[in-house]
Amino acid sequence: MKELKDKTAFVTGGGSGIGLATAKALATRGARIILADIDGARVKTAAADLRAVGVDAMALTLNVADEADWARAGELAARFGEVQVLCSNAGVGGGSGTFETYDTEVWRWAYAVNAHAHLYACRTFLGAMKAMDEPCHLTLTASMVGIVPPPISVAYISSKFATLGIAMGLRNELADTRVGLSVLCPGMSATRIVETTAILRPGASEEGAAARTAQSMGSVLASGMSPDKIGERVVKAIEAGEFYIFTHPEWKRLAEPQIAEMMAAFGESADPDYPGDDIDGLVAANGARRLNVSVSHS
Ligand SMILES: NC(=O)c1ccc[n+]([C@@H]2O[C@H](COP(=O)([O-])OP(=O)(O)OC[C@H]3O[C@@H](n4cnc5c(N)ncnc54)[C@H](O)[C@@H]3O)[C@@H](O)[C@H]2O)c1
């Protein structure tokens, strides 16, 4: 999507961090901005700051995990303009501790915000974006932990793998449309995510070892990459029609052995007499023309 001037962008998690930085970078290209966030006060201030420097921007309070809230957000957004760039970015950390001790309410919440919300975002805007038949773009924020999982929250990691899976699956569906698609997989960034997670998580606050982990994560992320650099990189990827947005190449040395292990696991067939799967038949059975696994799209 080469031209962003006067296009309307809807950015979730737009009150802070990577979402706000992406919105600001979009604004430098002349885009009109809708910032949506569960933190109404923060997002209002962020939109006012944008307007103060001449950007056409509006704030919208939205809980991305609440499907009904999306219907209201869609109506309010429509009054501002037809959305052509959708950045489904809001996210929270998951619970801590060993997997079997997870609080199921926190687990569901992490999935609702980090993964299910992409469906609600697309339900609200993607149909119209396809129907416009002009260049549009969708970005989903996953994480580098959805590529290479470090020893952190399994809820967070797996919800980010889900986001990557949504993007990879959706890529096939969007192949013959004018809607470009990117999946953002950043490494560490100095944002408020540890703080917002602690404020927003359902149930009791974390205590003991879990609280100490969160505190240490906060210190590690404080020296992470500036979200502004990531926001600018996202917009360059939108303009170039790149699918994967990797911002932290230092993770490549960990991705390589992981992918090599996976490739090496493709050994002999479990049935030497089996002729092999009819992958073309699988594609055709689903009404698709091709398997869109590696072709960049804009
Ligand atoms: N910070 C990192 O190191 C890092 C790394 C990889 C990926 N990410 C991802 O980047 C995205 C943005 O996070 P960030 O790091 O900028 O954090 P952030 O906390 O600074 O910003 C996230 C924003 O999302 C909002 N939000 C949270 N739950 C919401 C909900 N239910 N509805 C609407 N808004 C909600 C928060 O209020 C906050 O303003 C997330 O998806 C996160 O998982 C962050």
- Residue 201 in any domain: the answer is yes
282 Cα to the center of ligand 1, angstroms: 37
Instruction: Round to whole Å and give the CA distance between 69 and 73.
Output: 6
Check: CB of residue 163 under 8 Å from CB of residue 185. no
23 Cα to the center of ligand 1, angstroms: 13
Q: Which CATH number do you get for residue 261? A: 3.40.50.720
Please tell me the residue having the least CA distance from ligand 1 atom 32. Answer: 63
Residue by residue, DSSP assigns 227-275 as HHHHHHHHHHHHHHT-SEEE--GGGHHHHHHHHHHHHHT--S-SSTT--
Q: What pLDDT digit, counting tens, does each position of 93-140 carry?
A: 987 888 998 999 999 999 999 999 999 999 999 999 999 989 999 999
Task: Give the mutation target among 22, 37, 111 for probing the ligand 1 site: most ligand atoms within 8 A of CB.
Answer: 37
- Residue 295 in any domain: the answer is no
Instruction: Round to whole Å and give the CA distance between 237 and 85.
Output: 12
- Residue 3 in any domain: the answer is no
pTM given for the model: 0.96
Structural domain that includes position 213:
8-285
pLDDT at 297: 40
- Residue 102 in any domain: the answer is yes
Check: CB of residue 33 under 8 Å from CB of residue 9. yes
- Residue 294 in any domain: the answer is no
HEC string for 27-59: HHCCCEEEEEECCHHHHHHHHHHHHHCCCCEEE
- Residue 104 in any domain: the answer is yes
71 Cα to the center of ligand 1, angstroms: 21
Q: String of b and e for 196-228 (b: at least 16 CB within 10 Å)?
A: bbbeebeeeebeeebeebbeebeeebeebbebb
- Residue 290 in any domain: the answer is no
What's phi and psi for 136, nearest 5 deg? -135, 170
State how many domains the chain has: 1
User: For the chain, which ranges sit under pLDDT 50?
Assistant: 295-298
